[in-house]
Each structure stands twice: as structure tokens, then as C-alpha cells.
Amino acid sequence: MRFAAIADVHGNHLALEAVLADIRAQGIDEIVNLGDCLSGPLEAGRTADLLIGLNALTVRGNHDRYLTDSPADAMPSWEEHAYSQLSAHHLAWLRSLPFSAVYRDAVYLCHATPGHDETYWLEKVSPAGHVYLKPLEEIEALAAGIDQPLILCGHSHIPRVVRLGDGRMIVNPGSVGCPAYGDDMPYDHKVETGHPLASYCIIATTASGWLPQFRSVAYDHMAMSRLAAQNGRSDWSVALATGWAG
Ligand SMILES: [Fe+2]
């Protein structure tokens, strides 16, 4: 088995196009998508059309939920611009996405954790705002009851793999479209990859087990940075230009 995992596209159509071209160039035609598809000050409508046409197994992210469940006149800040670009067809697609899914009987997919779509599975935030690798026993506790040997999550935008004590593996492919951001839950913190490239992961079964290969893809990130600035989001503009939170 060899497939690609993408996550946290966040309406970045140019980054998604570049990642899909890279996936095709690797000879891969199976893709799973871990959610947070459209929210952000970029190109939500075009991104929705591309993702719907892709027909990949996709789970719903917290930001996908905000787009379908928030009142139209009171969208959260990341959703406001994206929502204005979406048709009834796009919103119906978002509503159809499951919270979690199983791919080929072997891979469990969710956006954040099996129980909550806003909790980091692999990272912890200290009250001082430091983001660090969560202790293994806490990561394993969240994986209780999952039978699949490979688990995929997104949400933190940090590419990472953690092997559990029983041999299972949890992989976060990183974010296609948003390399850095600031958040205030559970404490004020920043997540920063430190580069503006698009991230995703190719995962293959090998003689020694599951092998995740993290890939970074260049695209015209400055075009997206300028678009974010035009749409009034200087924080996104800096993040897209540099990979550091603005
Ligand atoms: Fe996200």
C-alpha cells in the first residue's frame, strides 16, 4: 500500500495544486484528506471545487465545522472570508464529511483526536505558550480502542510521526496551506514550521512496517501572502511569506 495524506489545506489553492502535482509525479493516485479544507483569507471556493473533484476520503476538521455550524452573519475570523466564497454545493459537501473514517481497513483517520476536533493529539501547550511533544502515555491513552495499525491526524500543522509502545504509529502530515499561526486555546501560543513550503506525507508499507515520508513542496507562496494582505490578514500574510506567525 502506498498513498498520500494531506491535511489543513485552509483554502490555499496554489499550495494544493502544487502538492497534487507532486503526488502525481510520485506515481501515487490514492489520497486521504484530514480536514480543515477551506477556512482562511485565501481561495476557499476554488479550493472546494478542486477538493470535491478529487473525491478523496476526507474527514471533517474543526474549521470545516465552524463553516457549516456558525450563523452566516457571525462567522469566526478565519471563516468570514472563506464563507463568502462558498456555494450551497460547497457547504453540502462540508456537511457530508464524517468526523472519522477508516481507509482500506488499516488506517484510522481523524482531524485532531478521536473524541474532539480541537485538541492536539501529539502536542501539548504549556501555560507559558510553549508547544512541545506530548508525553507518550497521554498520546497512547487517546488511541485506546483504535484497532488500526496506522493512525493519521492533522490539526496542529506540525509534520510528525510518533510510534506507540504496541507498534502502532500516529502520523501528522503537516499543513498544505498554512505553515504558521497563533491561537489562544488552551493558552496563547504560536505554531511555526519556520518555512513557507507546503507540507504533506507519502506513506508506504515496507518490509519493516509503515514508512512515512514527509515532503515539502515549493509553490508561489508570495502570491498567497499578497492575497492574504489584500484581504486584511497581515498575520496570514507574514505566515505564508515566512512560515513564522505574524
Ligand atoms: Fe488547521
What is the whole-number distance in angstroms between the Cα of residue 178 and the centre of ligand 1?
Answer: 8
89-103 pLDDT per residue, tens: 999 999 999 999 999
What is the whole-number distance in angstroms between the Cα of residue 9 and the centre of ligand 1?
Answer: 8
Query: Considering the chain, what is the average pLDDT of its residues?
Result: 98
177-191 pLDDT per residue, tens: 999 999 999 999 999
Report the distance separating Cα 239 and Cα 242, nearest Å. Answer: 5
Report the distance separating Cα 79 and Cα 74, nearest Å. Answer: 9
Three cell numbers, residue 140: 497512547
Report the distance separating Cα 131 and Cα 112, nearest Å. Answer: 16
What is the whole-number distance in angstroms between the Cα of residue 160 and the centre of ligand 1?
Answer: 15
What is the whole-number distance in angstroms between the Cα of residue 141 and the centre of ligand 1?
Answer: 23
What is the whole-number distance in angstroms between the Cα of residue 44 and the centre of ligand 1?
Answer: 14
Q: What is the pLDDT of residue 170?
A: 98
Report the distance separating Cα 86 and Cα 63, nearest Å. Answer: 14
With a cut of 90, say whether residue 210 has pLDDT above it. Answer: yes
Helix (H, G, I), strand (E, B) or coil at 127: coil
What is the whole-number distance in angstroms between the Cα of residue 36 and the centre of ligand 1?
Answer: 5
What is the whole-number distance in angstroms between the Cα of residue 10 and the centre of ligand 1?
Answer: 7
49-81 pLDDT per residue, tens: 999 999 999 999 999 999 999 999 999 999 999
Residue 173 contacts residue 34 (beta carbons within 8 Å) = yes
Where residue 137 falls among pLDDT bands split at 50, 70, 90?
Answer: very high
Where residue 222 falls among pLDDT bands split at 50, 70, 90?
Answer: very high
Q: What is the pLDDT of residue 246?
A: 77
Residue 163 contacts residue 150 (beta carbons within 8 Å) = no
With a cut of 90, say whether residue 162 has pLDDT above it. Answer: yes
Q: How many CB atoms lie within 10 A of CB 99?
A: 17
Three cell numbers, residue 198: 507546503
Three cell numbers, residue 223: 502570491
What is the whole-number distance in angstroms between the Cα of residue 208 and the centre of ligand 1?
Answer: 31
In the chain the domains, ranked by start, together with CATH numbers, are 2-242 (3.60.21.10)
Where residue 132 falls among pLDDT bands split at 50, 70, 90?
Answer: very high
The β-bridge partners of 163 are 169
Helix segments in 62-217, DSSP class H? 62-69, 77-84, 88-96, 136-142
1-42 pLDDT per residue, tens: 999 999 999 999 999 999 999 999 999 999 999 999 999 999
What is the whole-number distance in angstroms between the Cα of residue 7 and the centre of ligand 1?
Answer: 8
What is the whole-number distance in angstroms between the Cα of residue 73 and the centre of ligand 1?
Answer: 22
Element containing residue 85 per DSSP (H, E): none
